Amino acid sequence: MSIVELRQYTLHPGTRETLIELFEREFVTGQQAVGITLGGRFRDLDDPDRFVWLRTFPDMAHRRRALEAFYTGPVWREHRDTANATMIDSDDVLLLRGPGFTPEPGTSEVLATVCHPTDAADFDAYAARHLGPEHALHRTEHAENDFPRLPVRTGRDVRIWFGPAEPAPWPTQRLRLEPVIAQTVPAPSWRSHASSTRNGSLKWSSTPTPSPSRPRDAAEPVPYDRPRSRTGERRNRTTEQPS
């Protein structure tokens, strides 16, 4: 199983396509060049100002090295201001362990379920009955976030899967997603409670589509995300925040 980030960005109205175009043109190959594997990228079908995407790493040590290389490298330095200018909140990030997820080619919609089980054993029994390999089940990774410039949500234990399944008897959030279709690397598109961009996606339906970030101080390369605290949650963060 890989280390996976599920990232959900809240954007300024009307800027999602700007971010997606930049992301697909610059940040897909830019991240791949430092060893980051990109998963689905999606447009949220229920919120025109939300962009959802996944990326994976072999382990936490690889994640730290790869993020350091990307966020101090030339691609991010050149385009971070344009990317960051589209974003209101980029710190809605879950650190997970799982297989990663990219929709099948031709997928137009993906359904992603974020579940908050109250009992791990009961959830395992539910998963054994209702979830298969095709659901790409992910669980919270509880390792410390060792790249704190990019905050992640902590203090919760979630399960996430993709595609329709028997309703779970715990609090859940469903995302209807439309995949973004890659320009350089063809990637499928699915729909779910959120939708995807050109290069990636989450799924409910099927049909392809493509995806891109916000500014900071030039002296200190800033991460994609903009930390913002939430009530009842602990976050790993630094005082360095994009503005």
The string of pLDDT tens digits covering residues 13-43 is 999 999 999 999 999 999 999 999 999 999 9
50 or 228: whose pLDDT is higher? 50
* Predicted confidence (pLDDT) at residue 80 exceeds the cutoff of 60: yes
* Predicted confidence (pLDDT) at residue 125 exceeds the cutoff of 50: yes
Q: Are 176 and 45 in contact (CB under 8 A)?
A: yes
Q: What is the pTM of this model?
A: 0.76
* Predicted confidence (pLDDT) at residue 100 exceeds the cutoff of 80: yes
- Which of 42-46, 67-71, 80-84, 215-219 shows the lowest mean pLDDT across its residues? 215-219
Q: How far apart are CA 243 and CA 240, in angstroms?
A: 9
What's the pLDDT band for 181 if we cut at 50, 70, 90?
confident
pLDDT reported for residue 165: 96
CATH code linked to domain 2-227: 3.30.70.100
Mean pLDDT, all residues of the chain: 83
Q: What percent of the chain has pLDDT over 70?
A: 74
* Predicted confidence (pLDDT) at residue 189 exceeds the cutoff of 80: no
Among the listed residues 125, 112, 129, the one whose alpha carbon sits nearest the alpha carbon of residue 202: 112
Q: Are 57 and 63 in contact (CB under 8 A)?
A: yes
* Predicted confidence (pLDDT) at residue 115 exceeds the cutoff of 90: yes
Q: For the range 118-125, what are the long-range contacts, defined as Cβ-Cβ under 8 Å and sequence gap of 24 or more?
A: 118/170, 120/157, 123/159, 123/168, 123/170
pLDDT reported for residue 182: 54
64 or 218: whose pLDDT is higher? 64
